[in-house]
C-alpha cells in the first residue's frame, strides 16, 4: 500500500515507495505485435513503462519519450527491460507541449525503426488544488498543453507515417467520467481526450487506422506523490472496489489488446479499467 510521501514534479519510479509493478517479472508475451514499431510518450515510468515492456515482449520495437533529465534513470531502466526482451528501444527527451519537438521525436523513431505502427499518447500532467480559484494561468496552460495539445501534435506528426492497420492509443482517465474536485483542469483535459478519441476514430476510419482510449482509475505511478497531498497519497485508490490503486502491470494488457489484431474491430472506444463502476 502507498505510504505518505511527496516528490517534486516530475516524479520518478526510483524514488517511489513502494516501487510500482510494471510487469517486469510477470508479463508473458505471445507475438501479438511481432515486427511492429511503437512510440510511447511518458514511457519512462508508470503506465508508459508497463506498456513498453508488454509491447516489447509481444515483439515490437519501442521508442519512449520523457520530459526531463531527472527522468533519465527511469528511461534507461525501461530501455533495459525492452532490450532484455530482444527488441530495440529508442530513448528521446522532449516536451510534448511543442509541436516541433514532437515532430523531431517521430522523425527520429521512424528513421531508427524504418516504420511506425503504433502511437501511444500517454504523457500527462496534473496538479491537485483545493479550489478552482487556486488554479493559476500557468498551471491551466501547462495541463492543457501537455494533456491534449500534446496528443494532437503527436498525431499530426505521426499520421504521415501510419499505414492501414496502424493504431493510435490515448490514455484517458476515470476523472473524465466521474470528475474530481481536486483535479478540475486535469479532468477537463481527460474529457477532451475521450472526445478527441471518438472524433479522430471517425476521421481515420477510411484510412484503416484505429483510434482507441484506455481510461484507468487510480494507478500507482510517480505522478501521484509528485502532484498530490501526502494524506491523499496514503489513501490513493482505497475508494475502488478492490480497495487499492492498480499497478501499471494491470493496465498494460488493455493497450496490447487494442493495439493488436485481437482488437481489430475496436475503434472510437474507451476501455475503462477503473476498479469501479463507471458511466460515459
Told to judge if 27 belongs to the known catalytic residues of this protein, a careful annotator would answer no
Residue 169, classed as helix, strand or coil, is strand
CB 117 within 8 A of CB 141: no
Among 198, 200, 177, 188, smallest CA distance to 272 is for 177
Find out whether the peptide bond into 41 is cis, omega within 30 degrees of 0.
no
Q: Specify the DSSP element, H or E, that contains 259.
A: helix 248-259
User: Considering 66, 153, 186, 255, which one is annotated as catalytic?
Assistant: 186
Helices within 41-87 (DSSP H only): 46-57, 72-84
Residue 198 cell numbers, joined: 471518438
Distances (CA, A) of 161 to 26, 55, 165, 170, 188: 33, 19, 12, 18, 30
Rounded to 5 degrees, φ, ψ at 234 are -65, -30
Residues with Cβ within 8 Å of 79's Cβ and at least 6 positions away in sequence, in order, are: 64, 89, 91
Q: Is 165 left (phi over 0), alpha (psi -120 to 50) or beta?
A: left
Residue 31, classed as helix, strand or coil, is coil
CB 248 within 8 A of CB 219: yes
CA distance 84 to 14: 19
Residues designated as active site = 186
Amino acid at each position: 500500500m502507498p505510504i505518505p510521501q511527496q516528490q517534486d514534479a516530475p516524479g520518478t519510479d526510483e524514488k517511489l515507495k513502494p516501487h510500482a509493478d510494471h510487469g517486469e517479472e510477470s508479463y508473458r508475451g505471445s507475438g501479438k505485435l511481432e515486427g511492429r514499431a511503437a512510440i510511447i510518450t511518458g514511457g519512462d515510468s508508470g503506465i508508459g513503462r508497463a506498456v513498453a515492456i508488454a509491447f516489447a515482449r509481444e515483439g515490437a520495437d519501442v521508442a519512449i519519450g520523457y520530459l526531463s533529465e531527472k527522468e533519465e534513470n527511469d528511461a534507461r531502466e525501461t530501455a533495459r527491460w525492452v532490450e532484455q526482451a530482444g527488441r530495440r528501444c529508442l530513448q528521446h527527451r522532449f516536451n510534448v507541449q511543442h509541436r516541433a519537438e514532437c515532430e523531431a521525436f517521430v522523425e527520429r523513431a521512424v528513421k531508427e525503426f524504418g516504420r511506425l505502427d503504433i502511437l501511444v499518447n500517454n504523457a500527462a500532467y496534473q496538479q491537485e488544488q483545493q479550489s478552482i480559484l487556486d488554479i493559476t494561468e500557468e498551471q491551466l496552460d501547462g495541463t492543457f498543453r501537455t494533456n491534449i495539445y500534446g496528443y494532437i501534435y503527436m498525431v499530426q506528426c505521426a499520421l504521415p507515417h501510419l499505414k492501414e492497420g496502424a493504431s493510435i492509443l490515448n490514455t484517458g482517465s476515470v476523472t473524465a467520467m466521474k470528475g474530481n474536485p481536486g483535479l478540475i483542469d486535469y479532468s477537463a483535459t481527460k474529457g477532451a481526450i475521450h472526445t478527441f478519441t471518438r472524433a479522430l476514430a471517425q476521421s481515420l476510419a477510411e484510412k484503416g487506422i484505429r483510434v482507441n482510449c484506455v481510461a484507468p482509475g487510480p494507478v500507482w505511478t510517480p505522478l501521484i506523490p509528485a502532484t498530490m497531498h501526502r494524506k491523499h497519497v496514503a489513501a490513493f485508490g482505497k475508494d475502488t472496489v478492490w480497495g487499492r490503486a492498480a499497478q501499471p502491470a494491470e493496465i498494460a494488457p488493455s493497450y496490447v489488446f487494442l493495439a493488436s489484431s485481437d482488437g481489430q474491430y475496436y475503434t472510437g472506444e474507451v476501455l475503462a479499467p477503473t476498479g469501479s463502476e463507471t458511466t460515459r
